[in-house]
Structure 1
Amino acid sequence: MEDQKKILFVINPISGGKKKTAFNKKVLEVLDLKRFNPTFQQTTKPNHAYELGKKAIEEKYDAVIAVGGDGTINELGSALIGSGVPLGIIPEGSGNGLALYLGIPMNETAAIRRLNRFETVDVDCGTINDKPFFNIAGLGFDASVSDRFANDSIRGPIGYLRSVINVLGKYKPCHYTLTIDGKKYEREAFMISVANSPQYGNNAYIAPNASVSDGVLDVCIVHKFPLYILPMMVYHLFNRSADQSEYVEIIPGRNILIERDDTGPVHVDGEPLALTGNLKIEVKPSSLKIIC
């Protein structure tokens, strides 16, 4: 009989506004306990998931499972990069962009059952001023929304929509100078998203052709557009046709420098981050194993 695999479940108790009090019991019912020996830890502070991931490598765990949203995945993924220890995902966030792209079930029981297969894929990660991201990083409008949403008492899609409406009324486009694989572009942009995977979450696709395994990032520049076009922009997002909008320009690249006149918020996998000055963005091919 093969040795049991030691796996650590790292649970974000507040992600997605969902209670997870019965989660451990569900795992013990659904996981193949002949093959897996599960341990459970809850996060209690920012960056705690990262610390638990690093400790799991030292303690020779065979896998670490993120039970949360894209922020929890980001912290654990950042800890596991280059270690060979695979990351599993039980999607419990507001958007679940990376999990949706990878075909991981949104249903909790089905996602736990999927771990029993223990099949992995190698995925790329991006870095923005050396801070890793696995789904999408961005600046401009969506980063301002993430910043607002992080400070909102209401989580989930309703809270996110409220943040969008609050920011939309007073947001002004900015001037950027982008250097993508040595070529320079000057743009006045509503926002810039750098996509490793195609969607933010909730099936809103900003970069329909992005792939986590092609060694390239998609730089999505959303140009200034008249407000009456907004319903059409939203339609493009959910119809996987953002690349067909005259207001969206997508440029693939491996080494990206973004120079900006104003220092505004940046988001990394949906989490706001205070980064000042220029932004240096790179791709690290096949740097993380994910169970899917």
Structure 2
Amino acid sequence: MKSVLFIVNPFSGGIDKSALLDSIESFAQEHHYRYSIYKTTGSADLEQVKELIAELNPAVIAVAGGDGTILTAVNAVFGTPTSIVIIPVGSANGMAKELNVPMDINKALALIESGKDLLIDLLDINGKICVHLADVGLNAKVVKRFEQDPNRGLWIYGKYVFRELFQLRINRFSIQLPERKIRRFAVSMIFANASKYGTGAVINPVGSLTDGKFELCIIRQFPFWQFFVLAYKAFFGKFSDSEYVEIISTSQVTVKASRKTLLQADGEIIGKVSTIVIKVLPQSVSFLVSSV
């Protein structure tokens, strides 16, 4: 009998989860799983999930939530053979889109039975795990505002993007790569394990979750109207063509900012930092996907 732990974020995506919970119960009973459903509260979730894993010893953890909920699951199973399935019910579903997970709940649940294991890289950022994307500057500030807003949805996120565009601040960064040291002035710097945000904006066209590398996407100061050009390029996979964008592939980096800057990873605020140390953790966790 297969053991499955379902982690459900009741607040993700701003939608009622009653139908989702019914679908989970029906699917689990139909397949005769030994299972448990954990609803996140935002308080000590990682510790609670680890306790449930110790009790249930699940072969699979199915995560119904956004990138932050996925991050909780990854932290819980890191270093174990347990696989993760994403049930995309977040606001943006960035990681689900990266892995081409079906947006239909029942099709996503079916991956528990039919999915193929894909071992992906993780990032260690100042001692914390990052699965998808981290950044400083523009988007990190947007994420903080979004986190403080009780409402959810892409339009709420978009509202804060436009607010922050009028408050862009340049920071000076010293970037120590394995073979060279560079300095850059930027309004945002993205540390991309993956290729795109949940909005569909491809900010890292060369990104891969399995190549043992990540990319620094450096965005220099741009005129306000250029934001729309950058957005257009991002949605059509030409972000790196912009004169305001520089992309560098590496397996590790140390970034020092001239003044403390807000850092976020996978939609979770880490805090204000002046030094960011990042390294790849190759093939660290398994996700069940439609095809490898």
- Which residue among 170, 192, 195 is the counterpart of 1:195? 192
Moved more, 153-162 or 110-119: 110-119
Structure 2 residue aligned with 1:123: 120
Superposition deviation, residue 212 in structure 1: 0.4
Structure 1 residue aligned with 2:210: 213
Distance 2:11 2:23 in 1: 18
Structure 1 residue aligned with 2:228: 231
2:256 is the counterpart of 1:272: no
- Which residue among 35, 47, 55 is the counterpart of 2:51? 55
| 1:1-292 to 2 correspondences below 5 Å | 4-31=1-28, 33-34=30-31, 36-48=33-45, 50-59=46-55, 60-292=57-289
Superposition deviation, residue 238 in structure 1: 0.9
Could you say what secondary structure the match of 2:38 adopts? strand
Distance 2:202 2:270 in 1: 22
1:172-217 CA-to-partner distances (Å, cap 9, x unmatched) read 1211111122411100001000111101112111101100000001
Distance 2:234 2:43 in 1: 30
1:148-183 CA-to-partner distances (Å, cap 9, x unmatched) read 111123211011011111211112121111112241
Moved more, 147-156 or 184-193: 147-156
Paired residue type of 2:149: D
Superposition deviation, residue 277 in structure 1: 2.6
Paired residue type of 2:47: E
Percentage of matched positions with identical amino acids? 30
Superposition deviation, residue 53 in structure 1: 3.3
Q: TM-score of the superposition, structure 2-length normalised?
A: 0.94
Note closer, same or farther for the CA distance 1:42–1:23 as it changes in structure 2 (3 Å cut): same
Moved more, 236-245 or 30-39: 30-39
Could you say what secondary structure the match of 2:243 adopts? coil
Distance 1:217 1:233 in 2: 21
Note closer, same or farther for the CA distance 1:118–1:39 as it changes in structure 2 (3 Å cut): farther
Superposition deviation, residue 224 in structure 1: 1.0
Distance 1:142 1:108 in 2: 29
Paired residue type of 1:171: L
Distance 1:158 1:34 in 2: 38
Distance 1:135 1:70 in 2: 8
Superposition deviation, residue 229 in structure 1: 1.1
Distance 1:286 1:275 in 2: 29
Superposition deviation, residue 66 in structure 1: 1.1
Superposition deviation, residue 116 in structure 1: 1.9
Note closer, same or farther for the CA distance 1:204–1:31 as it changes in structure 2 (3 Å cut): farther
Distance 2:171 2:65 in 1: 33
Could you say what secondary structure the match of 1:194 adopts? strand
Where in structure 2 are there 5+ consecutive unaligned residues?
Answer: none
CA contact (8 A) 2:261 2:274 kept: no
Superposed CA RMSD in Å reads: 1.5
Distance 1:263 1:75 in 2: 26
Superposition deviation, residue 289 in structure 1: 0.7
Where in structure 1 are there 5+ consecutive unaligned residues?
Answer: none
CA contact (8 A) 1:7 1:64 kept: yes
